Structure 1
Amino acid sequence: MNTLLSIEKRNAVLLKMAKLLEEERKALININKEDLEAYNGDDISMFDRLKVDNSKVDEMIKAVTHLASQEDPVGVERFSFKHDNGMQVYNKTASFGTVLIIYESRPDVTVEAAGIAFKSGNKILLKGGKESLRSNLKIVELWHQALKEEDASTNWVEYLQFNRTETQAFLEKPTQKVDLIVPRGGERLIAFVKQHATCPVIISGRGNNFVYVHEAADLEIAVDVIMNGKSKISACNAVDKVLIDENLPNKEAFVKLLISKLQEFKIEVLGDKTIAETNGLESITSDEVWYEEFLDYKILIGEIASNQDTIAMINKYSGGHSSVIVTTNEAEAKTFMENVDTAAVYHNASTRFTDGGQLGLGGELAISTDKLHQRGPIGLQHLVTNKWYVHGSGQIR
């Protein structure tokens, strides 16, 4: 186990990393071009996440710089108690120890996840996808340089170059102690990790997010929220399903307008039986489609009878990530927000804000759709556990 570094040293490493990313910006972008050229898959969202350009490097620099400015999440007092016998009891946050993150295609995770883990006093094991290997190894090289220049051990950040078989073997019988695993990626990756892991796993689950246009919706807001929710198809906070209240005034005109706007952006619009029939769309042939996370230029619009029906529908089909009600009726919004079982619930705002940086956490390791140990974006202050500090002078029970 690595000895906890002082907060000054942890921050110095993060700032050094920001400097190195700036210095090596061109080299990193060029190495990433090799990964992009070698990628032969047809997954457009994977390709989008794989790409490192100037704005991506800016984001990486911003992430580590911001982390360096945040309060130390380790050793924060959560509870204190003075026992009758004079003992002083404290409960304080403590690092997990070693965190393994398994992720696909995103070199920026190699910066952000490692930064968050390191700042919260954890050793990080990075297992990236083969499609981003060159970019990831370059970033890890920079981490090691930053650590060395600040006289810290390079084993705080370790890259695991494992294939699927080796990964499975490591999950089942780790060759070093692992305290927490966070898989970030598609449902197949998550199922694979859950099946083989022998230590706690935080599930960064699927999106499949819903927008409910209530009968008292402001229609301009509804269009903006839906279009923005579909503006980045590779994101887990993208919108896939839209439910339109059957009592919405001017419903037909609104649906027509919405469909034409979506189609302008080359988004394929599917409909349930009612919406498809009245708008000449392809109708879904099975309710199974409501479960699907598209990660594609595709959206499904359906008609719904009420807020209660919407809540039941979202709780049945969504990925437990994010959901929105568009309405001017505060009471209906409250009912929706209290009863929809997703990590983030929105009233008149876009699901694209479910993101650690956007919700004030500075950055995120992943977005959890589990309820333990943290739900929603996992930020710096969530990558800790806690322990009890008890100070006595010889007390016995």
Structure 2
Amino acid sequence: MLSAREAATAACQAKYEAAKLTTDQKNKALIQAASDLRKNTDKILEANAKDVLKARENGMAESLVDRLMLTAARIDGMAKGLEDVASLDDPVGEVIGMKKRPNGLLIGQKRVPLGTVAVIYEARPNVTADVFGLTFKSGNTAVLKGGKDAAYSNQAIIESIHESLNQCNITPDVAVLMEDNSRAASNELMKMNDLIDVLIPRGGAGLIRSVVENATIPVIETGTGNCHVFVDEDADPEMAVNIIINGKTQRTGVCNAVESLLIHEKIADTIMPALAKALQEKNVEIRVDDNLLQYVDGGIKATEEDWGTEYLDLIVSMKTVKDIDEAIAHINKYNTGHSESIVTKSYANAQKFLDQVDAAAVYVNASTRFTDGAEFGLGAEIGISTQKLHARGPMGLKELTTTKYIIYGDGQIRP
């Protein structure tokens, strides 16, 4: 079994070869990897079934089992994601902003890979394919540290990818899966400044907090999602209900699911009967403030803790506000910087919400479930960054590059 350091060393040693691959070489390997994922669907599903059985035996919540579970359609979606990445422009080598200085020097910037990217993630085996596709196309190598709950699935997926790379005469060390799933291995990985250039955590609040607090490697923080929908005074009630039901129930265990609702007090009488009914028909537990208890049969009184909770379950908190300013203040106090939405007919309020809400993705009259690399046209995503340095929002190919200055001269020396 590869140790954490052995895995990181292998990926680090491959990074300069990865950076030299041509766009054509990378695209052919990605297409081959997509084809092999489909070919190996039965093998991957067999491995995934072992993980799902074990997860249920260990009492994992069904919303999290859904994140772990693969189907033929989801594997096809992983393959399609690799094909989409292959179809995107290669950012590596792009020259940005070449300018001529008075002394004749031509100074510009050029996109280059980050190097070796480590990703620590939990029970979402599709991340294995997504990370490979994006890091590979952007000229990086990857160290993959999946959760123990998805160990069989991750191993089957990486074996399929390595099969593809070998067929294309590319070292499989461009994507190395750590076989040690222990917390100690994660802690060791977090401090490998000599081998890892960037560390990206993907998972729940506990994982992300642990990485941010303990890593000595530069970290790109991908955040939890306490996402809100604010229903403004003049919102279309039917539109609002549809957006909320989609955001809360289409998939509950994902970071862009809606967790909290803010209802303008002047529209509560109009929207609440239909909204409460629609949520309860989807078996959503509704936790409300005092003003909304009258509208929700069996409603639970919300506590202060509810306003800041990412449930990842069929639970939603709900509160009345007197105006858009109170809604924005509440969101900026309790959100996690992920995705926020307003439902309104007011152009002025829509613009105020877009301008003043502090989040990576801010919507007008649309579901927060669209915060996703594929939905944003990035092919896939390596994560959704909720920090503000280097990258913010869904991270695709460009976000996995950095720049270096390139300078052309004809003998200039500094006086």
Q: TM-score range by the shorter chain?
A: over 0.9
Alpha-carbon RMSD: 1.3
Q: Percent identity?
A: 39
Cα distance change on mapping 1:129 and 1:363 into 2, 3 Å: same
2:11 maps to none
Q: Extract unaligned runs of 5+ from structure 1.
A: none
**Inter-partner Cα distance in structure 1 for 2:306 and 2:335:** 11
Residue 240 (structure 1) aligned to one of 243, 246, 259:
259
2:378 maps to 361
Residue 327 (structure 2) aligned to one of 296, 310, 335:
310
Cα distance change on mapping 1:82 and 1:32 into 2, 3 Å: same
Q: 277-286 or 112-121, which moves further after superposition?
A: 277-286
Instruction: Name the amino acid aligned to 1:244.
Output: I
SS at match of 2:96: strand
Q: List aligned pairs for 1:1-397, cutoff 5 A.
A: 1-3=15-17, 4=19, 5-39=21-55, 40-162=58-180, 163-173=182-192, 177-230=195-248, 231-248=250-267, 251-284=268-301, 286-397=303-414
Cα distance change on mapping 1:285 and 1:345 into 2, 3 Å: closer
Cα distance change on mapping 1:32 and 1:279 into 2, 3 Å: closer
Instruction: Name the amino acid aligned to 1:156.
Output: V
Contact 2:98 2:106 in 1 (8 A): yes
Cα distance change on mapping 1:245 and 1:285 into 2, 3 Å: closer
SS at match of 1:247: helix
Q: Could you state the TM-score of these two structures normalised by the residue count of structure 2?
A: 0.92
**Inter-partner Cα distance in structure 2 for 1:70 and 1:127:** 26
Q: Extract unaligned runs of 5+ from structure 2.
A: 1-14
SS at match of 1:335: helix
**Inter-partner Cα distance in structure 2 for 1:95 and 1:318:** 32
Contact 1:99 1:125 in 2 (8 A): yes
Measured against aligned partners, the alpha-carbon deviations of 1:120-170 in whole angstroms (never above 9, x if no partner) come to 000000000001111111111122111111111111010112310122122
Q: 107-116 or 194-203, which moves further after superposition?
A: 194-203
**Inter-partner Cα distance in structure 2 for 1:226 and 1:211:** 7
Contact 1:127 1:160 in 2 (8 A): yes
Cα distance change on mapping 1:278 and 1:109 into 2, 3 Å: closer
SS at match of 2:319: strand
Contact 1:275 1:281 in 2 (8 A): no
SS at match of 2:254: coil
**Inter-partner Cα distance in structure 2 for 1:392 and 1:151:** 38
For residue 44 of structure 1, report the CA deviation from its aligned partner.
Answer: 2.0
Cα distance change on mapping 1:90 and 1:253 into 2, 3 Å: closer
For residue 287 of structure 1, report the CA deviation from its aligned partner.
Answer: 1.1
For residue 6 of structure 1, report the CA deviation from its aligned partner.
Answer: 1.1
